[in-house]
Amino acid sequence: MRSVGSSSNTSPKLPSLDITFRLVPALLLSLMAFQNGHGQSQSLPSQVPDTGEIRPIDSLVGDSCPAIPIIISADPERAMAIVDGYDSGIQLPTRLILTGKKHDIRVQADGYEPLSYELRCGNADSVSLTFILRTEAPPLIVAESIGLAFLPIQIVLDSAAADQRMKSYANATEMFMVFPFGQGVITKVLGGDTYRKESNVLIISGAVLSVGCFVAGKVLSGHQRSSIRAKNERINRDNNTALLHNREVDRKVQIANRERKIRWDRENKSRGLVNVLKYP
């Protein structure tokens, strides 16, 4: 009876052990898969940490270039660096961590010409860039800045005023010739001997006035034309003198600008370049 009872007591324990042995490996495998999946999700570049690292958006996926420390300095020291077109400039000297296949670095300063450099991904552990800027080209010298001045060129006078005066006197001549002379002729024909004296006075006065206006117009317009001609001759002499003076002033200004350009080129001969040092 005891043997039968013992067999009945031990037989129900066998299925529970079997289930335990099957669940433990399954739990272990699930735990290992969860850990592997969690570790893989942590390795994905979800965001760039705020550690001074500048990383292009297109380099977040499939970027095989390592993070490289970059040291940027400039001459003059007050220059600002703009990396990849960001508006906010970085005061130099500075140290950055750059990742990505290439970066555009632009350095600028007041009074100097900006200078750009394209940094590409390499095998170096760190890179040092020194931007040596050229000073801005000096403005062109003007004549007044060196105590010289150009003389103005005068405009010659036109003889239209004299021609207008002669035309006005010619109109007066025609008026005095037509009206008094015609009135005198009509009076003499129609009045006969009664108005002979009046008709003669009208004819003679019309002829005298017309001739007088004609002579006066010739004399006065000729005098005005002569005066204009004399003034134009004087203006032409002054203009010739001004042209010679202006040519000399222009020559001196060109020489001064050429000397300034040569001096500026000499001072900036070894500038306008980027010194690159790579440390493996």
- Please indicate, yes or no, if residue 280 is contained in any of the structural domains: no
Claim to verify: residue 82 and residue 101 sit in the same structural domain: yes
Query: Residue 242: what are its φ and ψ, rounded to 5°?
Result: -65, -40
d(CA 178, CA 182): 6
Q: 135: which DSSP letter?
A: B
**Same-domain pairing of 157 and 113:** no
- Summarize the confidence of residues 68-88 as an average pLDDT: 88
Tell whether 113 and 199 lie within a shared domain.
no
Give me the mean pLDDT over the 35-41 stretch: 43
Q: Provide the domain count of the chain.
A: 2
Six-digit token string for 189: 């024909």
Confidence of residue 242 (pLDDT cuts 50, 70, 90): very high
Average pLDDT over residues 218-226: 74
Same domain, 100 and 177: no
Of the ranges 52-61, 73-82, 100-109, which one carries the lowest mean pLDDT score? 52-61
Bond into 152 cis (ω within 30): no
Distance CA 13, CA 23 (A): 16
Is 13 within a domain?
Answer: no
Question: Is the distance from CB of 80 to CB of 89 less than 8 angstroms?
Answer: yes
* Region 87-108 average pLDDT: 86
Q: 155-205 pLDDT, tens per residue?
A: 888 777 666 666 666 666 666 666 666 767 777 677 666 666 777 777 777
Q: Please tell me whether residues 183 and 83 are part of one structural domain.
A: no
pLDDT of res. 86: 78
Domain contains 85:
yes
Segment among 10-19, 52-61, 98-107 with least mean pLDDT: 52-61
What pLDDT is recorded for position 44?
A: 32
Q: Which of 89, 104, 136 is the last residue of a domain?
A: 136
Residue 260 and residue 178 share a domain: yes
Q: Which positions ≥6 away from 71 have C-beta within 8 Å?
A: 93, 94, 95, 126, 127, 128, 129
Query: Which range of residues forms the domain containing residue 74?
Result: 53-136
Q: What is the pTM of this model?
A: 0.52
